[in-house]
Amino acid sequence: MITIQKKNNLVIVAVIGEFTLTDYREFEQQVLYKTHFDGKANLLFDWRDMLNYTVDVAWEEIKFMRDHGSEYNRVAVVTDDEWQTWATWVFNLFVNANVMVFHDYEEAEAWVSENE
């Protein structure tokens, strides 16, 4: 399950439990809508409560980022999981944005919101 919030040029995505393909497609629609009308966006992924994700989500993420990776300024990921940290650096190969991993949510939000 995901929750999506929008604050100015920031899209905040929190994943709770399993991250499914349906959830990812909802994220895609929200972000594409935001960037279509407002230009480049900043993303904040809160993965602290994510238990796992399906293989089809990983594949969809690679395809989406390859096609839309230039539409972001900053991407912050909040996680304590080493596997998710590694996945974030792979994600970084497909985007033209500053990508950072954080353990603290407030630090991540402050960094990703700079220069708004």
Domain borders along the chain are 39-116
Confidence (pTM):
0.85
Closest C-alpha to 44, from 113, 95, 93: 113
Read off the pLDDT of residues 12-62 as tens digits, 9 standing for 90 and up: 999 999 999 999 999 988 888 877 777 788 999 999 999 888 888 888 888
Task: Judge whether residue 89 has pLDDT over 80.
Answer: no
Residue 59 CA to residue 55 CA, distance in Å, equals 6
Between helices 55-68 and 82-92, what is the axis angle to 10°? Answer: 30
Q: Tell me the residue type at 96.
A: N
Residue 3 CA to residue 83 CA, distance in Å, equals 22
